[in-house]
Amino acid sequence: MSVDDTPREDGDSPLDALAARLVDGRINGGPIGDSVDLKRIEEAVREILIAVGENPDREGLQRTPGRVARAYAELFAGLRVDPAQVMKSSFAEDHNELVLVRDIEVQSFCEHHLLPFLGVAHVGYIPGADGRVAGLSKLARLVEVYARRPQVQERLTSQIADQLQDSLKASGVIVVVECEHTCMSMRGIRKPGAKTVTSAVRGTLQADARTRAEAMSLIHGS
C-alpha cells in the first residue's frame, strides 16, 4: 500500500510541509530535511502485526501500516527541524524582566516504549543585556520541535532551556514540564494520574533564589 508523500509543485512533500509548520516558513527556500522512510515504517508495522498474532491482510488492517507510517512521520516531525531556526527571529524591546508563557501543551513520546507522554510546559526567560525578546509563539514552537521526537522528559526540559538561552542570549531561563507518561499508566506499573515534574533553570534565575521563587509562583498561578 502506497502512502501519500507525493511531491508538490514547490518540490516539498506533504510531510516536509508538516515539519515546516513547526517553524516559520521555509528554511533556505527548500525542504527542511531528509524525508521519512515511510515504506520502511510500513514494512515494520506489518511485521509487528504478524508478531502479535494479527492478520495484516484482513480488511480492517490492510491500510494500517500506511496510516501508522504517516502518523509517525507527523509525530516525529521535530527530528527534521533545526530548533535554532525556530528562534531565529527576535526583536528589541525595552523589557528586562520575566516573560513567561504558561501551560503550553506537550505531546511527546517516551523513547523507552514509544508511548505518549502528555502534559504542559511553562517557559520563561529574562531578556539579556542586548534586550532581545522572542515572539511568544516561538516559545511554543520550540516546545513542539523538541517534543515531536523520541524523548525523555528531563532532556526535553533542558533542551528547551538551553536553546532559549543560546538563541536569545537570555540572562535567565526557566522551563518546567509536567507530564503523565502513558507507559506508566497504560502498562507496567499502571499508575494513572501520576505526574512527573521536571525543571531546568539557567543564568540569573538559577543564581538568584528570589527571582526564581517569583517565577515559580507565576508558573503555579499564585
Ligand X SMILES: Nc1nc2c(ncn2[C@@H]2O[C@H](COP(=O)(O)OP(=O)(O)OP(=O)(O)O)[C@@H](O)[C@H]2O)c(=O)[nH]1
Residue 179 marked as a ligand binder: no
What residue ranges bind ligand X (CB under 6 A)? 110, 112, 152-154, 181, 183-184, 188-189
Q: How far is the CB of 1 from ligand X (least distance, A)?
A: 31
DSSP per residue over 35-50, as a string?
PP-HHHHHHHHHHHHH
Query: Which member of 74, 183, 206, 214 is catalytic?
Result: 183
**Neighbour order of strands in the sheet with 99-110:** 150-151, 99-110, 116-126, 172-181, 196-203
For ligand X, the closer of residues 40 and 195 by Cβ is 195
Buried b (16+ CB within 10 A) or exposed e, 147-159: bbbbbebeebbbb
The greatest distance separating any two alpha carbons of the chain, rounded to the nearest whole angstrom, comes to 63
First-to-final CA distance of the chain: 53
Q: Which of 113, 180, 206, 214 is catalytic?
A: 113
* Residue 8 contact partner, candidates Zn ion, ligand X, none, CB within 5 to 8 A by sort of partner: none
Tell whether 110 is in a known binding site: yes
Which is it for strands 99-110 and 150-151: parallel, antiparallel or unpaired?
Answer: parallel
110 binds Zn ion (CB under 5 A): yes
Is 95 considered catalytic here? no
Nearest-CB residue for ligand X: 188
3-state secondary structure of 178: strand
* Least distance between ligand X and beta carbon 96 (Å): 34
Q: What is the contact surface with Zn ion in residues (CB under 5 A)?
A: 110, 112-113, 183
Binding annotation: 110, 113, 183
Binding annotation for Zn(2+): 110, 113, 183
Q: Catalytic residue positions?
A: 110-113, 153, 181, 183
